Amino acid sequence: MAGLTDAVTRDRITQWIAGLTPPYTGYDLLRRALTNYRQIAAQGGWKALAAGEIGPKATEARIAALRARLSLEDRDTPASGTGYDGPLREAVVRAQKRYGLNPTGIVGAQTLTALNVPVADRVGCGFGADGLTRGASHGLWRSLVAHLTGGQGVAGSNPVSPTV
């Protein structure tokens, strides 16, 4: 509580709260992803991919659209290539893992649905494939409660993150 008291006394609450980084490594990754998604949103987001499986037998136009879409979220996705090659399949597997899907390497209905979630929805609500902001703020609130209670938390409750 000494840190909070000092922050109040010195009128530095905002800086004190900003310094309450949750004590897990995933939080830093979450913040970086949020920054990346916000940049994508500022540039207009991404185009939805047309319905239908995308795999080795897909047309070049569908494969090019998939490459363009994946490269916005995954800088390791090659911008060009020959058909549905190994590096593109690996990028699909990474996306499927990122979204908590079975990593088949083929873009089926579930993967297509996850890829077509608008970037604004990813940023704004939930966690994982549904968004980042609430997940980040939940971690921050948990950290704040832990600081205020000396690591004990609040008996019988979980901190509830505000809608951001």
Taking the domains of the chain in order of start, what are their residue ranges? 17-148
Which pLDDT belongs to residue 85?
Answer: 92
- The count of residues in the chain is 164
Distances (CA, A) of 16 to 3, 22, 133: 8, 13, 20
Angle, helix 133-148 to helix 25-42, in steps of 10 degrees: 140
Residue 113 confidence class, pLDDT cut points 50, 70, 90: very high
Instruction: Dump pLDDT digits (tens) for 21-48.
Output: 666 667 777 778 888 888 998 899 999 9
pLDDT of residue 131 exceeding 80: no
Which pLDDT belongs to residue 15?
Answer: 82
pLDDT of residue 6 exceeding 90: no
Phi, psi of 44, deg, nearest 5 = 105, 0
Phi, psi of 110, deg, nearest 5 = -65, -45
Tokens representing residue 29 in the block: 């990754």
Per the CB < 8 A criterion, the answer to whether 34 and 60 are in contact is no
User: Nearest 5 degrees, angle CA 120-CA 122-CA 127?
Assistant: 145
Closest among 116, 118, 89, 117 to 105, alpha carbons compared? 89
Tokens representing residue 86 in the block: 């190994």
The answer to pTM > 0.85 is no
pLDDT of residue 118 exceeding 50: yes
Which pLDDT belongs to residue 29?
Answer: 75
Tokens representing residue 94 in the block: 């990474």
Among 48-57, 65-74, 86-95, 142-151, where is mean pLDDT lowest? Answer: 142-151
Residue 5 confidence class, pLDDT cut points 50, 70, 90: confident
The Cα–Cα gap between 64 and 149 comes to 53
